Structure 1
Amino acid sequence: MSKPQVPYIPGEIYHVFNHANGWELVFREEENFRYFLQKYGEAMPPLLETLAYCLLPNHFHSLVRVRPKETLAVFYRQKHGLPPLSPGDAKGLAGPDFNKIVRQEFGNFLGGYARAFNNWHERMGSLFMQNTKRKLVGTPQYFKNVIHYIHCNAMHHDFVAYPEAWPHSSYHAFLSDKPTKLAREQGLQWFGGVEAFVQFHQKPPLPGMEELLEV
């Protein structure tokens, strides 16, 4: 029996990942990668702050922080046509099930991508594994190692020799000055700047990271 999923808690950071169903691919061509990120950027920023990601042909990884409960409550009330919260309205903050809100919206996002993918590639059936997995991330040092693991995942699966050689990850956004929806400044603070970020990614991953992340 699989372990119950940890709940999404406002303000907490999670490693989130999902895999294709069976031997399927979830990204077959460049347009699939682009469309996934476009729809993610439209659907999830009101709920999640994204700190890192990597898309591989048959799975994806991300590191996200759940937005504060005040932000989630505003999203919930707007979506359901409810009046805005009054300042200090503790009852309004206690009402919504924030874990359920985030789970449902993430599921809706993946479901929408899967329907578009099925139309493009003339396939039927589920594309992703039923349950998107998540692992609560605890300490700043752990944050750094999870980001390293995510950015080096294409290396781990022998697609490339260096993290910068894989185009479908947030590694490049950390090195760029271009506007981004990624929480770039927060991530760079953990590493101590761009130079330290690059140096950290030249190290091998910590032994046992897959077991620690329950991948």
Structure 2
Amino acid sequence: MSTPKVPWFPGASCHITARGNHRNDIFKDGEDFQYYLTLIEEALKYFEYDEYEIICYCLMDNHVHILVKTKDKAPGQFIGRVNAMYAKYFNKKYNYIGHLFQDRYHPEFIKSDEQMLEASRYIHLNPIRANMVERPEEYQWSSYGMYIGKKKEKLITTKEVLSYFQKINKRELYKNFVESAIRNKASL
């Protein structure tokens, strides 16, 4: 029996989550995290005519969050390619047998500007919620440092999310927006 198709519409933005099977770790060292990012970069080139854009991401030990904007094709082919190639790499490297990922992937479609901002903040605060770091820019496997100008932008496109803020100091305003949830622990 085949898995039902995920509903999708052209131009949709989608918060994709992919979790390790049985919540097991899918990244065991820095090389694994880096390889997954390399696969994202390769998939962006492979599907360049489909014009996928990565809005933001956070790779955690046992799951990934990727906010992707689509144009003419559903995100399934993109994330499917990345996850399938990563699973082959992981299985070979660690002599692992069986499914690496729990399911195909979980999509949450973005329906408003507010939801886009909240999804971005949620993704960037994942390492804080997991008590891995004190400040989100300390986490190496997230796009947050690029959003606040601490790292050179690579793989991602910040223009849509940052367009919600004033032209002057938009990176600082985004940082304040994200980190206001840390100060108000209830919204974590």
TM-score tier (shorter): 0.7 to 0.9
The aligned amino acid for 2:106 is K
Partner of 1:39: 39
Runs of 4+ more than 6 Å apart: 205-210
Q: Determine if contact 1:8/1:66 at 8 Å carries over to the other structure.
A: no
Q: Secondary structure at the match of 1:15?
A: strand
The aligned amino acid for 1:195 is E
Q: Does 1:49 align with 2:53?
A: yes
- Kindly state the Cα deviation for residue 6 of structure 1 after the two structures are TM-superposed: 4.5
Matches within 5 A, 1:185-196: 185-192=159-166, 193-196=170-173
Moved more, 145-154 or 7-16: 7-16
Residues 60, 191 of structure 1: CA spacing in aligned structure 2 closer, same or farther, 3 A cutoff? farther
**Structure 1: where are the runs of 5+ without partners?**
70-97, 211-215
TM-score by length of 1: 0.74
Residues 19, 164 of structure 1: CA spacing in aligned structure 2 closer, same or farther, 3 A cutoff? same
**Structure 2: where are the runs of 5+ without partners?**
none
Any idea what the Cα deviations from partners look like across 1:48-83, whole Å, max 9, x if unmatched? 21111100000011111102x3xxxxxxxxxxxxxx
Partner of 1:73: none
Residues 209, 119 of structure 1: CA spacing in aligned structure 2 closer, same or farther, 3 A cutoff? farther
Any idea what the Cα deviations from partners look like across 1:74-107, whole Å, max 9, x if unmatched? xxxxxxxxxxxxxxxxxxxxxxxx44xx423421
Partner of 1:128: 101
Number of aligned residue pairs: give it. 176
TM-score by length of 2: 0.84
Q: Distance in 2 between matches of 1:189 and 1:111?
A: 34
- Kindly state the Cα deviation for residue 121 of structure 1 after the two structures are TM-superposed: 1.2
Q: Distance in 2 between matches of 1:179 and 1:204?
A: 24
Any idea what the Cα deviations from partners look like across 1:5-28, whole Å, max 9, x if unmatched? 642322111111010001421110
State percent identity of aligned pairs.
27
Residues 203, 128 of structure 1: CA spacing in aligned structure 2 closer, same or farther, 3 A cutoff? same
- Kindly state the Cα deviation for residue 173 of structure 1 after the two structures are TM-superposed: 1.2
- Kindly state the Cα deviation for residue 160 of structure 1 after the two structures are TM-superposed: 1.3
Partner of 1:61: 65
Q: Among 136, 140, 154, which residue is 1:180 paired with?
A: 154
Q: Among 158, 162, 175, which residue is 1:198 paired with?
A: 175
Residues 5, 158 of structure 1: CA spacing in aligned structure 2 closer, same or farther, 3 A cutoff? farther
Matches within 5 A, 1:2-41: 6-41=6-41
- Kindly state the Cα deviation for residue 44 of structure 1 after the two structures are TM-superposed: 3.4
Moved more, 23-32 or 184-193: 184-193
Q: Distance in 2 between matches of 1:134 and 1:125?
A: 23
Larger Rg: 1
The aligned amino acid for 2:116 is F
